[in-house]
Amino acid sequence: MLVFLYLVDYTQCFMPEAKLRVLISAEQIQKRIAEIGAQIDRDYAGGGPIYMLCVMKGAVMFFADLARAVTHPVRMDFIGLSSYGKGKTSSGEVRLTKDLDVTVEGFDLLVVEDILDSGVTLSYLIHVLQQRKPRSIRIATLLDKPERRLRPVAVEYSGFTIPDEFVVGYGLDYAEDYRQLKDVCVLGG
C-alpha cells in the first residue's frame, strides 16, 4: 500500500495536469521554419559561416530545426539568460547564466530565441554581444508577443506573431515543465 501511494506522488510530480490548447501545430512550425531557413540562405549567400547562438533553454527546439533548414555553413554556440524565475511574468532583471564558449569577433551572429515578449532579455543580450565586436548581429525568434513590448528590438526573422497569452511547448516552459511538447500550446486555455 505504501509503495502504491509513493508511485502516485511520483507521477504527479513529472506529469502536471493542465489544460492545453494548441495554438501553433508542429506542422505549422516546421513549414514556417523551412521558409525562414530559405530566407537566411538568401540573405547570407556569399558570406562566411553564420554563428548561430541558441538562447537556452527555450530556443533549443527552434535552434535545432532552424539549423537544419539552413544550407549555408553554420557554427553553433549556446548562451544562458534568465529573467523569468518560476512565474509567468518577467522579473525585469536579466542574468547571464552561461556565457559563450567561443570568441565571436568578426563573425555574423544569428541569435536564436524562443519568444520576444517585453524585449528586456534580447535588448540586454544584444548589448552584451555588441561588446564582442561581431561583424553583424541578427535575431531569429520563433514567437513574437508585440503587445507586451517595453524595449524596442529589431527582429529580422520572426516565426509567428501571437496574442498576449502564456504559451508552452516546443522548448517553452512553465516552471521547467512542458518543453517537450511538439506544438506551441496555450496553458490554461
Residues 80-119 that bind ligand IMP (CB under 6 A): 83-84, 90, 113-119
Q: Are 50 and 110 in contact (CB under 8 A)?
A: yes
Q: Which of 110, 21, 20 is nearest to 62 (CA)?
A: 110
90 binds, among ligand IMP, Mg ion, none (CB under 5 to 8 A by kind): ligand IMP
Contacts of 112 (CB under 8 A, 6+ apart): 52, 53, 54, 55, 59, 62, 63, 66, 140, 141
User: Could you tell me where the DSSP H helices lie in 45-175?
Assistant: 60-69, 120-130
Q: Closest distance between Mg ion and the C-beta of residue 113, in Å?
A: 6
Could you say which of Mg ion, ligand IMP, none residue 116 binds, taking C-beta under 5 to 8 angstroms by partner kind? ligand IMP
Task: Decide if 77 is catalytic.
Answer: no
Choose the one of Mg ion, ligand IMP, none that binds residue 119, judging by a C-beta under 5 to 8 angstroms depending on kind. ligand IMP
Using the rule CB under 5 A, is 58 a contact of Mg ion? yes
Task: Decide: 33 and 159 in contact? Cβ < 8 Å.
Answer: yes
Candidates 70, 120, 137, 184; binder of ligand IMP (CB under 6 A) is: 120
Position of cell 549567400?
45
- Taking the least distance from each CB to ligand IMP, the nearer of 139 and 172 is 172
Q: Does 114 bind Mg ion (CB under 5 A)?
A: yes
Strand order in the sheet with 136-144: 95-98, 74-82, 50-56, 108-116, 136-144, 157-161
Nearest residue to 56 via CA among 84, 26, 92: 84
Nearest CB to Mg ion, comparing residues 44 and 186: 186
The residue from 114, 117, 144, 173 that is catalytic is 117
CB 62 within 8 A of CB 159: yes
By beta-carbon proximity to ligand IMP, the closer residue of 44 and 65 is 65
Could you say whether residue 117 binds Mg ion (CB under 5 A)? no
Q: Choose the one of ligand IMP, Mg ion, none that binds residue 167, judging by a C-beta under 5 to 8 angstroms depending on kind.
A: ligand IMP
Number of Cβ atoms within 10 Å of the Cβ of 120: 19
Q: Kindly tell me which residue out of 41, 43, 155, 166 binds ligand IMP, with binding defined by CB under 6 A.
A: 166
Positions marked catalytic: 117
Residues that bind Mg ion (CB under 5 A): 58, 114
